[in-house]
Amino acid sequence: MKLAVVGATGLVGTEILEVLAEHNFPYDELLLVASERSVGKQIEYKSKKHTVIGLAEAVAAKPEIAIFSAGGSTSLEWAPKFAEVGTFVIDNSSAWRMDPSKKLVVPEINSKEITATDKIIANPNCSTIQMVLALEPLRQRYGIKRIVVSTYQSVTGTGKAAVDQMMAEREGRTPDMVYPHKIDMNVLPHIDVFQPNGYTKEEMKMINETKKIFSDDTIKVTATTVRVPTMGGHSEAVNVEFKEDFDLVEVRSLLESAPGVIVQDDPANFIYPMPITAHKKDEVFVGRLRRDESQANTLNMWIVADNLRKGAATNAVQIAEYLVEKGLV
């Protein structure tokens, strides 16, 4: 089986390669694909040197699976070309997420929706993935009426240039500015571009993707997404109103038994999820579980995950693993 990683030299592409190795993903031939400026570059991976190839050469090789992390415009142009030669494309960009003909997949929730004809499969937004994964067992038990989420998102979500800006500021050097303001020692209530309704594109992604993944347009969602000067993880304060009342002991039990979720909720001993401890982990961490005393049937929770892992690379690799497991490739 041929496996292509498109955008292999970027932050997420590098993480995808790490996750593939850790998961012992089965392939016979690995194609590392990047933009023209990286073609010919040598990358050592699993004690073997690989030469980076271009997109046209990768399409000609007809890989069974191509994991894309190369930006929306690249995905819009090239994903259909891979699909035409029979490749399953798993795309990390926002290009296909809200396309009604494409599946938006978090494997623990809705992988069963994937069929042999779904040649382009969308990976959800990083901040959406961790939230819906933690909410899914509770949604199944109590039903969800409304979600209010505020995020605290790592600079790694923007990419290497944003990390370089923050570290230059931290070290007193003049940075190449990725953000409109300084990010170190600061907080920016602004992720992606502002929309006519006053929300950012990131906030609207969380609203729209949540409804699509849950296949439920009746759920009301509102979001405020914020960039903070951390690396290695996104954090979220989530307030969720259920259709039915809940028991906190049962909530904890449901979360503890949910695949891909780890409960860290012992405030007496200062145990709660943090991005620094979620770094390089595949799971989603949940804590600060408490009843909202201002409103009936409402829970407050704190959700943290490594945005380059479950928020991107791990989720994509898990989709690829599902394709293999079900004999679709």
Residues known to be catalytic: 126, 234
252 assigned ligand-binding residue: no
39 assigned ligand-binding residue: no
CA neighbours within 13 Å on the CB side: how many for 202? Answer: 19
Q: What number of residues does the chain have?
A: 329
State the pairing for strand pair 220-224/234-242: unpaired
Residues 6+ apart with CB under 8 A from 140: none
- Residue type present at position 220: K
C-alpha pair distances (Å), 231 with each of 136, 164, 287: 26, 11, 20
Detail the DSSP E strand segments found in 243-293: 261-263, 284-291
227 assigned ligand-binding residue: yes
DSSP helix/strand/coil, 89: strand
CB-based burial label for 260 (10 Å; 0-12, 13-18, 19+)? buried
9 assigned ligand-binding residue: yes
Q: Which of 175, 170, 206 is nearest to 311 (CA)?
A: 206
Q: Which of 124, 313, 299, 317 is nearest to 205 (CA)?
A: 124
C-alpha pair distances (Å), 1 with each of 4, 15, 26, 328, 329: 10, 21, 8, 12, 8
153 assigned ligand-binding residue: yes
12 assigned ligand-binding residue: yes
Q: Which residues pair with 187 in a beta bridge?
A: none
97 assigned ligand-binding residue: yes
> Which tokens belong to 134?
């933690």
Measured between alpha carbons, how far apart are the two ends of the chain, in Å?
8
Can you tell me the distance from the alpha carbon of 52 to that of 58, in angstroms, rounded to the nearest whole number? Answer: 10
Can you tell me the distance from the alpha carbon of 210 to that of 241, in angstroms, rounded to the nearest whole number? Answer: 15
Provide the annotated binding site for NADP(+).
Answer: 9-12, 37-38, 307
Provide the annotated binding site for substrate.
Answer: 153, 227
